[in-house]
Protein backbone atom coordinates (compact mmCIF):
# COMPACT_ATOMS: atom_id res chain seq x y z
CA UNK A 1 0.00 0.00 0.00
CA UNK A 2 2.82 2.42 0.80
CA UNK A 3 4.41 1.90 -2.62
CA UNK A 4 1.08 2.51 -4.40
CA UNK A 5 0.49 5.67 -2.39
CA UNK A 6 3.92 6.98 -3.30
CA UNK A 7 3.33 6.17 -6.96
CA UNK A 8 0.08 8.11 -7.34
CA UNK A 9 1.46 11.02 -5.35
CA UNK A 10 4.50 11.14 -7.61
CA UNK A 11 2.35 10.96 -10.75
CA UNK A 12 0.08 13.73 -9.44
CA UNK A 13 3.05 15.91 -8.50
CA UNK A 14 4.61 15.36 -11.93
CA UNK A 15 1.35 16.32 -13.62
CA UNK A 16 1.28 19.57 -11.65
CA UNK A 17 4.91 20.37 -12.38
CA UNK A 18 4.63 19.75 -16.13
CA UNK A 19 1.45 21.82 -16.29
CA UNK A 20 3.13 24.66 -14.44
CA UNK A 21 6.20 24.45 -16.69
CA UNK A 22 4.02 24.66 -19.81
CA UNK A 23 3.13 28.24 -18.88
CA UNK A 24 -0.25 29.90 -19.13
CA UNK A 25 -2.56 30.85 -21.95
CA UNK A 26 -1.12 34.39 -21.74
CA UNK A 27 2.55 33.62 -21.42
CA UNK A 28 4.96 30.75 -21.87
CA UNK A 29 8.73 30.81 -21.94
CA UNK A 30 8.71 27.87 -24.37
CA UNK A 31 7.69 27.56 -27.99
CA UNK A 32 4.50 25.69 -28.85
CA UNK A 33 6.33 22.40 -29.58
CA UNK A 34 7.76 22.25 -26.08
CA UNK A 35 4.50 23.50 -24.55
CA UNK A 36 2.60 20.72 -26.32
CA UNK A 37 5.02 18.08 -25.05
CA UNK A 38 4.91 19.42 -21.49
CA UNK A 39 1.12 19.27 -21.61
CA UNK A 40 1.28 15.70 -22.90
CA UNK A 41 3.48 14.74 -19.95
CA UNK A 42 1.14 16.57 -17.58
CA UNK A 43 -1.83 14.67 -19.00
CA UNK A 44 0.06 11.42 -18.55
CA UNK A 45 0.89 12.29 -14.93
CA UNK A 46 -2.70 13.10 -14.04
CA UNK A 47 -4.19 10.05 -15.74
CA UNK A 48 -1.56 7.75 -14.28
CA UNK A 49 -2.27 9.11 -10.77
CA UNK A 50 -5.96 8.29 -11.18
CA UNK A 51 -5.19 4.87 -12.65
CA UNK A 52 -2.66 4.07 -9.95
CA UNK A 53 -5.20 4.83 -7.23
CA UNK A 54 -7.46 2.25 -8.94
CA UNK A 55 -4.61 -0.26 -9.45
CA UNK A 56 -4.99 0.01 -13.21
CA UNK A 57 -2.68 0.70 -16.13
CA UNK A 58 -3.16 1.91 -19.71
CA UNK A 59 -2.27 -0.26 -22.70
CA UNK A 60 0.22 2.40 -23.77
CA UNK A 61 0.77 6.10 -23.19
CA UNK A 62 -0.78 7.67 -26.27
CA UNK A 63 -3.60 10.12 -25.65
CA UNK A 64 -6.10 7.50 -26.88
CA UNK A 65 -4.72 4.80 -24.60
CA UNK A 66 -4.72 7.16 -21.62
CA UNK A 67 -8.31 8.25 -22.24
CA UNK A 68 -9.48 4.66 -22.83
CA UNK A 69 -7.90 3.54 -19.55
CA UNK A 70 -9.26 6.56 -17.68
CA UNK A 71 -12.78 5.71 -18.81
CA UNK A 72 -12.48 2.26 -17.24
CA UNK A 73 -12.15 3.79 -13.76
CA UNK A 74 -14.12 7.06 -13.93
CA UNK A 75 -16.55 8.97 -16.07
CA UNK A 76 -15.33 11.63 -18.45
CA UNK A 77 -17.58 13.53 -20.78
CA UNK A 78 -17.40 12.75 -24.50
CA UNK A 79 -16.66 16.45 -25.03
CA UNK A 80 -13.60 16.39 -22.75
CA UNK A 81 -12.38 13.17 -24.36
CA UNK A 82 -12.69 14.76 -27.79
CA UNK A 83 -10.89 17.92 -26.66
CA UNK A 84 -7.91 15.78 -25.67
CA UNK A 85 -7.93 13.39 -28.64
CA UNK A 86 -8.25 16.01 -31.35
CA UNK A 87 -4.64 16.99 -30.68
CA UNK A 88 -3.13 13.51 -30.53
CA UNK A 89 -2.22 13.49 -34.23
CA UNK A 90 0.10 16.49 -33.88
CA UNK A 91 2.84 14.05 -32.97
CA UNK A 92 2.99 10.40 -33.88
CA UNK A 93 6.50 9.79 -32.66
CA UNK A 94 5.97 6.27 -31.31
CA UNK A 95 4.73 4.82 -34.58
CA UNK A 96 6.97 2.27 -36.25
CA UNK A 97 5.38 2.93 -39.64
CA UNK A 98 4.81 6.66 -39.67
CA UNK A 99 6.79 9.26 -37.76
CA UNK A 100 4.98 12.59 -37.81
CA UNK A 101 5.42 15.93 -36.07
CA UNK A 102 3.64 19.21 -36.63
CA UNK A 103 4.17 22.59 -35.07
CA UNK A 104 1.08 23.23 -32.98
CA UNK A 105 -0.41 26.70 -32.97
CA UNK A 106 -0.63 28.78 -29.81
CA UNK A 107 -4.41 28.31 -29.96
CA UNK A 108 -3.99 24.52 -30.10
CA UNK A 109 -1.67 24.54 -27.09
CA UNK A 110 -4.04 26.80 -25.14
CA UNK A 111 -7.04 24.57 -25.89
CA UNK A 112 -5.10 21.46 -24.91
CA UNK A 113 -3.94 23.20 -21.70
CA UNK A 114 -7.56 23.90 -20.72
CA UNK A 115 -8.51 20.25 -21.24
CA UNK A 116 -5.47 19.01 -19.31
CA UNK A 117 -6.34 21.40 -16.48
CA UNK A 118 -9.78 19.73 -16.27
CA UNK A 119 -8.16 16.29 -16.07
CA UNK A 120 -5.85 17.70 -13.39
CA UNK A 121 -8.82 18.90 -11.35
CA UNK A 122 -10.34 15.43 -11.64
CA UNK A 123 -7.07 13.86 -10.51
CA UNK A 124 -6.82 16.12 -7.47
CA UNK A 125 -10.44 15.43 -6.58
CA UNK A 126 -10.13 11.65 -6.95
CA UNK A 127 -6.73 11.36 -5.29
CA UNK A 128 -7.51 14.01 -2.69
CA UNK A 129 -10.45 11.97 -1.41
CA UNK A 130 -8.05 9.27 -0.16
Q: What is the mean predicted confidence (pLDDT) over 93-97?
A: 55
19 compared with 129, residue with greater pLDDT? 19
- The predicted structure's pLDDT at residue 96: 55
Residue 128 above 50 pLDDT?
yes
Packed helices 78-85 and 106-128: angle between N→C axes, nearest 10 degrees? 130
**pLDDT tens-digit map of 24-81:** 766 677 888 899 999 999 999 999 999 999 999 999 888 999 999 999 999 999 999 9
SS (H, E, C) the chain: CHHHHHHHHHHHHHHHHHHHHCCCCCCCCCCHHHHHHHHHHHHHHHHHHHHHHCCCCCCCCCHHHHHHHHHHHCCCCHHHHHHHHCCHHHEECCCCCCCEECCCCHHHHHHHHHHHHHHHHHHHHHHHCC
Does the domain at 2-128 match CATH 1.20.120.330? Answer given as yes
Please tell me the predicted confidence (pLDDT) of residue 26: 65
Domain segments of the chain as ranges? 2-128
Q: What's the confidence (pLDDT) of residue 24? A: 74
> What is the rounded average pLDDT for all residues in the chain?
87
Amino acid sequence: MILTELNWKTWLHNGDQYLKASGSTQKSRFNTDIGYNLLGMSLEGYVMAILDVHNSLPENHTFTDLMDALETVCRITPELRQRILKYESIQSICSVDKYQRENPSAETVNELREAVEEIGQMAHHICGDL
